[in-house]
Amino acid sequence: MNNETTSHPAAGMTGCLSHLRVLDLSRIFAGPWAGQFFGDLGADVIKVEIPGKGDDVRQSGPPFMKDAQGRDSRESAQYMSVNRGKRSITVDLSKPEGQAIILRLAAQCDVLIENYKVGTLARYNLAYEDVAKVNPRLVYCSITGFGQSGPYSHRPGYDMVFQAMSGLMSVTGEPDSSPGGGPQRAGYSSSDMSAGMYAICAILAALNHRDAVSGKGQYIDLALLDSQVALLSHVAANYFMTGAVPKRLGNVSANASPWGSFPCMDQSVVVAVGNDTQFLHLCQTMGRPELATDPRFITTPDRVRRRDELTAELNEIFKTRNALDWVEALDAAGVPCGPIYNIEQMLQDPQIQHRGVELHQDHPLGSQVRTIANPIKFSQTPVTANLPPPMQGQHTNEVLADLLHMDDAQLEALRAAKVI
């Protein structure tokens, strides 16, 4: 950080990134997801929202958090999921005074994350080239749908568009010949989350390069479409190897068998056999050891080629017992397996509870926020979620007074001019 000096609000914390400050100009999911990660690890994350409107995803609902009187607030579940660990300020970037505030804040930050349409921040004099003049050590990450260049760079887009165009939907769902067959999207915002994770990796790499090699920050151009395509690398590898376009296979694997869901007496169970030894143990546990030496099924390639025949054999056996009975027996035999949970069942599982994946935080509205915790477990610098997802503009006065040394009169003048 440079220029205006200030104390870090996280001073004394032990988080891995408590020495960093992040200016988060992003909205919706991908950028905020990355910003939340930095907050989880101790960084001071300042979220910049539009006065009077806030982050677009605040309006994405229902459901919305209830206030103390049981009424819907403006705090959506979607917003809550990606914005803890941040301080929220409201600044109108379209006004020169707002742009000046952002530049002064950026001068004291290590990272800037934004996901405006290509060219928008350049019109506001807040492009990388503008900000780097006041802080050449800044790592500036732009997250867009299609990237900063190319014939589609101007296009808007949401997660489903990128799931479709990346090829993900072409390999997700049941085959066309099966009931309910056809392309399906993943049941969560896969493109947003993957882009957010790539952003985290890229930013950390750029910070390391700045601190260990160059002394300077740099610009990161990250696209949701590129990120989702990258996650399909192992699927594309099959195409590169054979020239055959991968097809939808439902729950089975193109490269291993038996691998998928099997109907039991009460519900289905998932089994994922990755090698011949596991297949032997599966057959022994199911009371059919001869299947492991059947010439049709001896090796993994054999079982993939005869998948339908093997599945038919196994389906009849699985139907003789309840799913959890099979899970207990197969787990004892060292065969990878598991029940198919809904979200409520998942949260009640003893392993899930032991790992502490659910986070509870007190919220200014008087309620508690429940979110999924950061999964990383450090031995020396534990992840500590100190701030719940902020209300819109909750910390505007605090941040501008703390970092920019603005007094009450200056803040009131900016508020009267609708800059903040």
Cite the active site residues. 192
How many residues would you count in the chain?
Answer: 420
Judge residue 377's burial from the number of C-beta atoms within 10 Å of its C-beta, 0-12 exposed, 13-18 middle, 19 or more buried.
Answer: exposed
For 228, the token pair is: 């989702």
Q: Label the pairing between strands 44-49 and 86-90.
A: parallel
User: According to DSSP H, which parts of 248-299 are helical?
Assistant: 276-285
Cα of first residue to Cα of last residue in the chain, in angstroms, is 24
Cα 298 to Cα 279: distance, rounded to the nearest angstrom: 9
Q: Between vectors from CA 11 to CA 6 and to CA 12, what angle results, nearest 5°?
A: 155
Exposure b/e, 53-66, CB count within 10 A at least 16 = b: ebbebbeeeeebbe
Segments of 32-185 assigned E as strands: 44-49, 64-66, 72-76, 86-90, 111-114, 139-144
Please choose, from the candidates 291, 294, 296, the residue with its C-alpha nearest in 3D space to the C-alpha of residue 306: 296
Own/partner pairs for 92-99, CB < 8 Å, 24+ apart? 92/50, 92/51, 92/418, 92/419, 92/420, 93/25, 93/48, 93/50, 93/121, 93/124, 93/126, 94/124, 95/417, 95/418, 95/419, 97/414, 97/417, 97/419, 98/419, 98/420, 99/124, 99/125, 99/126
**Euclidean distance between CA atoms 396 and 275, whole angstroms:** 57
Beta bridge partners of 89: 48
d(CA 41, CA 22): 12
Peptide bond into 258 cis (omega under 30): yes
According to DSSP, residue 127 is labeled: S
Cβ neighbours of 212 (radius 10 Å)? 8
